């Protein structure tokens, strides 16, 4: 080595001066937080309305949901399966007929409980990646059962919710002022994708 000193490094920028500051991230973080909490409140409100608003015992509320919402939706999906890009998805109608309709008294209450858990997870920011993916799948299934595909969002909010939940899962929205930031540092590496 020679006795020469290396030239000091300068940050890139005009004329070797300071680099421009990156834009502030807090507005984006605030937007993600507000969307996450709002969607959580919507799912909690839907759960509360379907389970408690009628003023009936819990088991009866589940039966009312199955009879007046779940079964008619599944039957609609069987009678008029979705058409996606000109192809009628009869396989989906077959699936609804073979699995979802006979299992109505299991799947109906399970969906209600999931709506409540999804609402809590979104509000608290806990397990948002996992719950967002499952919620997006559920909303897509509802949209398809209504005979709608994703470009018919104007006729159903299911696809809007599906895309919003998928986006929240992809950006790990629970780590923005939520419990997932704390959980991610405490979970084993193979489970961190959940938070």
pLDDT digits (tens, 9 = 90+) for 30-63: 999 999 999 999 999 999 999 988 788 988 999 9
**β-sheet bridge partners, residue 84:** 87
Domain assignment of residue 140, given as a range: 50-194
Look at residues 187, 189, 157, 171 and name the one whose alpha carbon lies nearest to residue 125. Answer: 171
* Two tokens, residue 5: 């000193």
pLDDT in tens, 115-174: 999 999 999 999 999 999 999 999 999 988 887 766 665 667 888 999 999 999 999 999
Q: Would 17 be classed as within a structural domain?
A: no
| Cβ(173)–Cβ(133) below 8 Å | no
Max CA distance (Å), the chain: 87
| Higher-scoring residue by pLDDT: 10, 134 | 134
Provide the number of structural domains found in the chain. 1
Question: Rounded mean pLDDT of 62-77?
Answer: 94
Q: Would 1 be classed as within a structural domain?
A: no
Q: Would 111 be classed as within a structural domain?
A: yes
Distance CA 177, CA 45 (A): 22
What per-residue confidence (pLDDT) applies to 25?
82
Q: Would 3 be classed as within a structural domain?
A: no
Q: Would 41 be classed as within a structural domain?
A: no
How many C-beta atoms lie closer than 10 Å to residue 180's C-beta?
A: 25
Helix or strand holding residue 84 (H, E): strand 83-84
| Cβ(160)–Cβ(153) below 8 Å | yes
Q: Would 28 be classed as within a structural domain?
A: no
How many C-beta atoms lie closer than 10 Å to residue 164's C-beta?
A: 21
* Ramachandran bin of 125, using left for φ above 0, alpha for ψ from -120 to 50, beta for the remaining angles: left
What per-residue confidence (pLDDT) applies to 126?
96
Q: Would 163 be classed as within a structural domain?
A: yes
Q: Would 133 be classed as within a structural domain?
A: yes
């Amino acid at each position: 080595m020679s006795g020469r000193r290396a030239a000091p490094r300068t940050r890139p920028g005009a004329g070797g001066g300071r680099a421009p500051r990156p834009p502030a991230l807090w507005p984006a973080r605030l937007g993600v937080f507000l969307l996450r909490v709002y969607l959580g409140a919507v799912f909690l409100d839907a759960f509360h309305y379907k389970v408690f608003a009628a003023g009936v015992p819990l088991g009866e509320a589940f039966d009312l949901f199955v009879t007046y919402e779940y079964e008619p939706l599944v039957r609609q999906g069987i009678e008029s399966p979705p058409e996606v890009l000109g192809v009628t998805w009869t396989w989906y109608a077959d699936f609804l007929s073979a699995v979802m309709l006979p299992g109505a008294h299991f799947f109906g209450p399970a969906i209600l409980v999931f709506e409540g858990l999804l609402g809590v997870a979104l509000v608290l920011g806990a397990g948002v990646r996992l719950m967002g993916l499952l919620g997006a799948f559920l909303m897509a299934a509802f949209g398809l059962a209504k005979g709608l595909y994703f470009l018919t969002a104007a006729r159903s909010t299911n696809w809007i919710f599906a895309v919003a939940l998928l986006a929240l899962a992809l950006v790990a929205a629970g780590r923005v002022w939520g419990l997932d930031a704390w959980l991610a540092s405490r979970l084993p590496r193979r489970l961190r994708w959940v938070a």
